[in-house]
Amino acid sequence: MNKIAIILSLLLLSACASKPTQLAVPDQIEYQNKAYQLAKWQDLDTVARYVYLSAPDTPEKWQSQIEVLLDRNMLNRSIEDRIELRERVYRSTDVVSFKLAPVQHEKTKKAQGLSGYVVYAPSATNPSWQVDVMRGQNIPQCGFVQFQYSQKVKNSRHLSREKVLRHLQKYLIANEVKTLDKMDWRWHCQHLT
């Protein structure tokens, strides 16, 4: 009888230890004096994605959105690996401009997160410029969590591509990077039951 109790206890403990984590996400996020409501989410076991929109935006038609991503880091990627992988993907797609940088721990100087931006040019399916500004961080026993603010900007036919990029860098990207750097990092995980 003791053997059965011990075996059941071990199975229960291993099942609890192997249960995936879930990011504790709010129904609403306040950002830049705007309320963003959770509009859609999907959990694919290794990655969970949450998209927030403000009224009157919809998932099909939006001007700004917030995306929160949880990569449970099953492949145990380092921050440097993440940056390298993303840079490789961005170089092989239609991304116009991007910059990613590691965020170092104050005391250890070890990379604990990343920050950066990505700029997409207008296309046939999306007539606006799109700017994604992000900040991500490793959270122990959870994975990699990324907060991303995305904004669409109308295409100006009067400005060259280079002038649009300079304008976006100076007035949008620089401000959003500062805002994300100052933002309290309140993300945490819980085990699924």
**Tens-level pLDDT at each residue, the chain (193 residues):** 444 433 333 333 333 344 467 788 999 999 999 999 999 999 888 999 999 999 999 999 999 999 999 999 888 899 999 999 999 999 998 799 999 999 877 777 788 889 999 999 998 888 899 999 999 998 888 899 999 999 999 887 788 888 999 999 999 999 999 999 888 888 888 766 5
- How confident is the model at residue 5, as a pLDDT? 39
pLDDT of residue 100: 95
pTM of structure: 0.84
Closest by CA to 38, choosing from 61, 62, 65, 70, is 65
Q: Which pLDDT does position 142 carry in this prediction?
A: 87
CA angle 86, 135, 153 (to 5 degrees): 80
What residue has token string 């927030």? 52
Distance CA 48, CA 53 (A): 17
The identity of residue 191, as a single letter, is H
3-state helix, strand, coil in the chain (%, to 5): 25, 40, 30
**Pick from 138, 74, 75, 85: nearest CA to 111:** 138
- Predicted local confidence at residue 33, as pLDDT: 92
Q: What is the pLDDT of residue 89?
A: 93
The pLDDT score that the predictor gives to residue 157 is 76
Q: Are 49 and 41 in contact (CB under 8 A)?
A: yes
Task: Tell me the fold of 22-191.
Answer: Protein Transport Mog1p; Chain A (3.40.1000)
